[in-house]
Structure 1
Amino acid sequence: MPLPLTHDDPEDLGPYRLVARLGSGGMGTVYLARSPGGRILALKTMHATMASEAAFRTRFRLEADAARVIGGRYGAQVVDADPLATTPWFATEYVLGPPLDEAVEQSGPLPEASVRALGAALCEALGQLHRSDVVHRDLKPSNIMVTAHGPKVIDFGIARALGDTHLTHTGSAVGTPAFMSPEQATGEEHTPAGDVFALAGVLAFAATGRGPFGDGRPADLVYRVRYGDPDLTGTPEALVPVLSHCLAKDPAARPTTAELQSQLHDGQGEFADHLPDTVLALIGARAAGVWQPVPPRLPAPAEAPAVPDTVPVATGSSRRGLLLGAAGAVLGLGGAGAGAWAWLGGGDAPPPAPAPYKKPVPGPSVGALPKKKWDSLWHFQPGGIDKDETPEMPLVVGGRALMVCGATVYGINPASGDVTWTSDVDASWHFASDGSRVYRIVNLKTPPGISRALAPLDLATGRTQKPEADLRDARGKLFGVQLLAVSGGTAYLCVLQRDKIKQYDRQMPWNVTAVDVRTGRKRWYEPVPFHSQKSDEAHFLAATVAAGRLVALQLMNDGTVRIVARDTRTGKSVWERPLKGARPDDVRYPLTADGRHLYLGVGPLRALRLSDGGQAWAAEGTYGPPALKDGVLYAARKGTGLTAVEAATGKPRWAQRDAYGPRTALTARPVIGPRHAYTLSTADGVLRAVGLASHTTARQYKTTGTRFIADEHNKVILASDDHFLAAFPLQ
């Protein structure tokens, strides 16, 4: 429970005000803190004497990193951190629940059903760590918090990446003797199998109230762990063989977390349904403690006011009542203490006399942001637009935005929203950019009629500069054209070019060609499959150039979408494959690719090798279009919200952990900023900023936009749809 601050505790760390102590140990102190928005957090610091040692600072940073890996579902969600500060610190959610050792001490050993549910949930938590090549190395009852939604693993002070021996050398045992593995006790490599050994000890404690190797001096415990048989007396009979298997001295003989999970629990029911009433009462008491007054800062340590150890429960109360009876509305405020700050005293004045009880109400939260947070920075809506004309996603090049709407292209200053110029245009697919310049298709009046050419656009004035590539050649007049991409001085186009076309000819000779943007020389010319004259759709929905491939999504005659990859040197198709289940309107976004892979959503999130089109990896579920930044792939997952995976391997990094996640639409590609990723919820018309560190919603903005693109130069997000363009801050 919270204790008063001492005379030498700081007032604040980073942007967080310290309001109470939660505990102190050999490495540092854990405080109860309040964010500027009113959220209650646990803030862990390192003692100043230890902060002067580089090794301890490194270990502290790795602890915060490991806590981020396990995430908010299985651990205390990391909200912020500054390992480089004079006093290193990191802040996490405040977990509403007791540690397992306290729960067992006050409620007695847990029944078999509770132990099985606890073990299965902890298998999931450890599995999350192990998939990220991290091992905990100090799993014990005091490092497991029991909440109504499941256990949370905390304290990653000695966790590390697999194979990393920089901080722990062979021959030195680090951990808690009563729960460490035999290999850890001898200073050998601690693998995921070592965490399984420790987990079995934790479950034996939960079932009996004591560890499988007893207690006593550390040296005695280490000896028993290495050479003695575990004492499972009092463990439910059906669990004995399961735990014995996990406590094998040979790491190779132990089950994996997935195997153990299947032996423990079938996954049915909510976690709280498997807990005894006494433990539910303890969880309620922990939540109720958030609302107890904390004595003001004292010049010397003082005892905190007494807090009831248990919550009075009326006979016949429901299980939900056991959780909520003492906690008031705390558990309804977002779980992590968001908004639960009304109990905190201010300054050095003594706490006021108790007032008559009033039902607590939430403090400021994301859902109650000031109205100005919902407003765009600016909004532009062109006039005179046909209701059937839909603008394409704007281009952002050189600190300027180009919006194509109807027969007009608008040059807009993204910082202010001012329209600096306008120009006539035939169609949106007549524009493309190589990242520094914008090219457009223009009409040339040449005998005996009109032909087409490729010309750069002056971004300052909107004027079309001198055509650089005349697209005519011996094949005849250019009747149709779609500019697919520009890269490395080459423009890639889909063209209809014949000396004569019959009015009702259904087999129109479309071709893909590569043109030198400076000379107009055709580098190659390759036919594309038959396309009906009666179709007004463009042949290609999206295209990009990467790793020597022109990769395009082609609209087929039957309305399906096909991925076609061509060699940029020859134009020959290298590989093709259908994009199953994709509707044309769902894939009209710039393609996401790097030097190795093409990344696709619309169904499972997956990576296709650019070399041969083979699938490198896939993530199960249903996803929207992905965004790539700094080797991390971001995409919205159905039912979860924003997710992040390693682009190279598909290994999960984190997933959004708040109630807004399931509302995220799968139709918009995320926009990634320095500190936030931005996703759309079409159900309530909101653009949400999800913290890249906290993985929870930090801000939200009202919008009717459906397409979003980042302008990092001007630090804005451009949103467009329904004939408008608006800007929101990119942070």
Structure 2
Amino acid sequence: MALPLTHDDPQQLGPFRLMARLGGGGMGTVYLGRLPGGRTVALKTMHERIASQETFRSRFQLEIDAARVMGERYGAEVVDADPFAAIPWLATEYVLGPPLDDTVALCGPLPERSVRALGAALCAALRQLHRSDVVHRDLKPSNILITAFGPKVIDFGIARAIGDQRLTSVGVTAGTPAFMSPEQAMGAEHTSAGDVFALAGVLIFAARGRGPFGSGQPADLLYRVRFAEPDLGGVPAGLLPILSRCLSKDPAHRPSMAELAGRLNHEEGESAEAEFTDYLPEPALAEIGRRATEVWQIRPTRLPAPPGSVDEAASRPGMSRRKLLTLSGGAVLGAAAAGVGTYAWLNGKERQGKTAASRRTSTARPANVPSQAVWWTEVNSADETFTPMPVGDLILVMDDNGLRGLDAKTGEERWIRKWVSWQLVSDGERAYAFVPKASSTEGLSIHSIDLRNGSPQPLIGPFPDFYGSRVEQAQPLAAADGVIYLAARTRKGGKSSVDNKEGWHVMAADLRSGKELWRQPFTRTYSPEPPNSGLVANAAGTRLALTWPMVDVPTEEQDAIGARDTRTGKVRWSWKLLREPLDNESSLGPGQLVADDERVYFGTGQLWAFRLSDGDTAWTFGEGRDKGSFQESMRPYGRPAVKDGVVYVTEGSRGLVAIEADSGKLLWEASLGGMPNIDVTPIIGRKYAYAAVGGNAKISAVDLRTHKVARTVPIPGNFDGAFVGHARAGTLVWMSGDFVCAVPFE
């Protein structure tokens, strides 16, 4: 609800003209602001009386960093910020949708299908946050805004890095008792499992209008959270088993966010093409529309100064404000943050990419870009599930507007193909995509991407006996030596175009002639849902190496790895690999299965090398080694890389090890100057091996001659997903929030 400005509120903050107050409390004030071009934002400031305290400034900086990590897709986009100003401020997009608690008050308890769609989207949002080793710690209905494109998570005022204990005593309540995790309620470390607990409480609230631990005094709520069983009466039967597990008092017994997402994803028979609006009740849609109209009717008004007061507004450098959305009994910022996206939807228009002028209001180097960067390019909410792809002289990236082709040497945008949902593979020189057809009768086609303009060119097919109208009906696996390999679903054996688990084949087609070379059926059901849940392949020599997570195992404790003959498609061998007890992430994403002409390599509790010819174990590495300080029940070996007869892999908390590919013998090891991220594959150049350190907070370059860290690139705000090297352009490229960045690659 917009309120008049007070007599001592500033006229302007940075380039933003203040229009109204949206909320405030003991920490700061929330304003509605507007740029000269019309863009509306929510502005947070910190009260002057606390802005001089380093602890509060550090927390404000962390809030900005966490909001950047979340990004526009799942949160309120950071438009601009100045955490170093005399009065720190943060400008985010102004989200027109109502918070979840207001939505439930307006519509009543949401149907199960709506709760599932909401939960799956929130899982994706929180996984993005957790990939940067940041936890929210205050997830509750008022911190979730409902928009036409999906929910947005806001208010990162008490978010913090996992394991960071420095900001625990700042004079405010850390969290909301009704939605705290038990470990947070008793002052222990709140990890990503704590956000799982809180998310379950939010979904229960959405499904029945009240949380699992009721209401009342904070002390009573904290006691119930720690010791009482949750009240699950009225929770839909289909949601009860998974939400009950999420509310386990023991964090180790809760499902991972990935498993929760899989269990929540749309019920059988739901269309995979459904938009989020299809799951919203009509009153919620009407409220989004009302807010979209209302925001443009706001005109700045200012209350007069109280009698006898001195109006200091003209002489003050900026005004107060800080976080209060819903920190701890403070006023709620009800509709804080985006208008542009929702406005376009309400008018039936395609969402347009924002111009650089409207997105970047500061001329300074963006916060997500390190000082060593040789170039950076702003995009529209980068898709962190799509690893930048080197192809020819380009780097391909995906964002909310579609597929972009960037010059790998300069970062200049060559072209953009808007609103594509293609799956791509590359052989290094060309990129190939499965482009779904408008009609379900046209069959499966594969296109090549014209690197001059991004247009898809028909290359293979159509194959009328394979489905080809929906993105989940085929999956390009690999392209090598003039052949493309696919997982595709035939009309024979599949129950319908909606039931997407049966009738699957692995097939190969010649990239020059377009002729199908072979197809072989799966021996089990299959439902690819990239990333990290479908087949991942690498074609090497006469073998197509494959891996996939054994998601049908209740405890998710197994991965599978195997090989098919590239000439016939027949299975030559297939093995199961046990995961470590708490490991849910050893499965690989597209392009991450590593093989040379002789062996395929896989990291779990040990580093495994399997002979491609027959699947026999060539060697293992790691048994009995001191892997440093980390949980013994977690996976100690990361995703390996191989180059010139050497396998490189991150190990526990120790750093990077180099192993002879033929023998499995340790050649050397190097400390990385921090905790390695085992989920990011090292990238090997001519002079250096590059590895992710400290979550995704920095990249260390290890000299291949001296085996010492030669330089470190700190990544402000962390990087998303993984990074890649473009040898021809000499750049190492990653995505961070709304930016694609590059440093020299040697």
- TM-score interval (norm. to shorter): 0.3 to 0.5
Higher relative contact order structure (alpha carbons within 8 Å, sequence separation ≥ 6):
2
Q: TM-score, normalised by structure 1?
A: 0.46
Q: TM-score, normalised by structure 2?
A: 0.45
Decide which structure has the larger Cα Rg and report it. 1
